[in-house]
């Protein structure tokens, strides 16, 4: 039987053995990590289709790996980052789970544990011959909508080692605040409740729309319902630039886009559920 970590690497289009994507040699660790996260972003869509079909998001690796690797689906932040964190651990990285509160369009911050992100580092090795650079840390986030984040903590996060309960995560150019990140790490199980809430609550953003998006070759491709939109990066710190946008009229074409662009095989058009009763899933 092929090990799951090998299957996962193939799922995101990466060749080589698992050790080729680990933290050694340290001199190129950041480059390998960034390449892995970019591959994940390009091949595993950020999508909420399953929760509209009655499948709540999970942080259980057994569930998320079956969904992402075996069934070749995507997910929301809890699913994408918990699965990616599992893979990184199997490849030899140290992974810490951190909760975030995302800034909304109204510039207010969301609920505690409303987002899951990773702080990744190389393991501390005591052998003096090791080339591992102890203490270097990266913020890794493959579940922030269409944007993947992978970069040194000192460049992207302000206050992670400070006395406050939350640190500030910014874009690499330091302009907008993306979200507030708890300075303490948590067990992955702490996120199970909010993963369920985001899958079921009538006021959660993911229950109010259908979305599927990937970013590859500098373009973000997003299917929101039947609206297909392609954007590219704008000026530093600015909004993304529109490349094209159109409405998909025919279901056959819609299913073809899900299959060819996002790698998702569907028998019928996803349907957004319209009612909630006593907090049960839509």
Q: What is the 3-state secondary structure (H, E, C) of 170-204?
A: ECCCCCCEEEEEECCCECHHHHHHHHHHHHHCCCC
pLDDT at position 177 over 90: no
Examine residue 143 and state whether it is found in any structural domain, yes or no.
yes
Examine residue 206 and state whether it is found in any structural domain, yes or no.
no
Instruction: Please give the Cα distance from 73 to 69 (Å, whole number).
Output: 7
Cβ neighbors of 118 (< 8 A, separation 6 or more) are 81, 84, 85, 88, 95, 96, 97, 98, 139, 140, 141
pLDDT band at 135 (very low <50, low <70, confident <90, very high): low
Examine residue 115 and state whether it is found in any structural domain, yes or no.
yes
Instruction: Note the pLDDT of residue 175.
Output: 55
Instruction: Note the pLDDT of residue 133.
Output: 43
What is the dihedral sign for C-alpha 51, 56, 61, 62?
negative
Q: What's the burial of 240, exposed, middle or buried (CB within 10 Å: 0-12/13-18/19+)?
A: middle
Domain that holds residue 68: 4-190
Please give the average per-residue pLDDT across 128-152, as a whole number.
Answer: 75
Examine residue 152 and state whether it is found in any structural domain, yes or no.
yes
Examine residue 216 and state whether it is found in any structural domain, yes or no.
no
Structure tokens belonging to residue 85: 């964190």
Q: What's the burial of 6, exposed, middle or buried (CB within 10 Å: 0-12/13-18/19+)?
A: middle
Instruction: Note the pLDDT of residue 127.
Output: 42
Instruction: Please give the Cα distance from 156 to 88 (Å, whole number).
Output: 20
- Going by C-alpha positions, the residue among 26, 64, 106 that lies closest to residue 191 is 64
Instruction: Note the pLDDT of residue 129.
Output: 39
Cβ neighbors of 78 (< 8 A, separation 6 or more) are 57, 58, 59, 116, 143, 191, 194, 195, 198
Examine residue 243 and state whether it is found in any structural domain, yes or no.
no
For residue 145, give the DSSP letter: T
* CA angle, residues 92, 10, 34, in degrees to nearest 5: 55
More confident residue, 46 or 27: 46
Instruction: Check which CATH number belongs to the domain holding 183 and give it.
Output: 3.30.2140.20
pTM: 0.91
Instruction: Note the pLDDT of residue 174.
Output: 56
Cβ neighbors of 155 (< 8 A, separation 6 or more) are 172
- Provide the number of structural domains found in the chain: 1
Examine residue 164 and state whether it is found in any structural domain, yes or no.
yes
* First and final C-alpha spacing in the chain: 37
pLDDT at position 251 over 60: yes
pLDDT band at 178 (very low <50, low <70, confident <90, very high): confident
Please give the average per-residue pLDDT across 217-240, as a whole number.
Answer: 87
């Amino acid at each position: 039987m092929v090990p799951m970590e090998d299957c996962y690497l193939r799922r995101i289009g990466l060749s080589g053995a698992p050790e080729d994507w680990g933290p050694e040699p340290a001199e190129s660790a950041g480059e390998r990590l960034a390449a892995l996260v970019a591959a994940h972003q390009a091949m595993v869509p950020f999508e909420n289709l399953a929760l509209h079909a009655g499948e709540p998001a999970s942080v259980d690796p057994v569930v998320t790996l079956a969904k992402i690797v075996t069934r070749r689906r995507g997910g929301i932040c809890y699913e994408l980052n918990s699965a990616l964190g599992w893979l990184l651990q199997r490849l030899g990285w140290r992974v810490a789970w951190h909760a975030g509160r995302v800034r909304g369009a109204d510039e207010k911050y969301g609920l505690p544990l409303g987002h899951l992100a990773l702080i990744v580092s190389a393991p501390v090795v005591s052998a003096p011959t090791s080339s591992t650079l102890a203490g270097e840390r990266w913020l890794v986030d493959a579940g922030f909508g269409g944007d993947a984040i992978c970069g040194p903590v000192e460049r992207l996060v302000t206050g992670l080692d400070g006395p406050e309960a939350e640190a500030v995560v910014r874009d690499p150019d330091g302009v907008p605040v993306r979200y507030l990140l708890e300075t303490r790490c948590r067990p992955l199980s702490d996120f199970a409740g909010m993963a369920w809430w985001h899958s079921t609550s009538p006021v959660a953003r993911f229950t109010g729309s259908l979305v599927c998006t990937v970013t590859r070759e500098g373009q973000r491709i997003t299917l929101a319902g039947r609206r297909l939109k392609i954007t590219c990066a704008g000026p530093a710190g600015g909004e993304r630039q529109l490349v094209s946008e159109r409405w998909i009229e025919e279901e056959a074409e819609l299913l073809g886009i899900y299959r060819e662009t996002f790698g998702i095989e569907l028998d019928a058009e996803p349907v957004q559920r319209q009612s909630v009763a006593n907090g049960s899933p839509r």
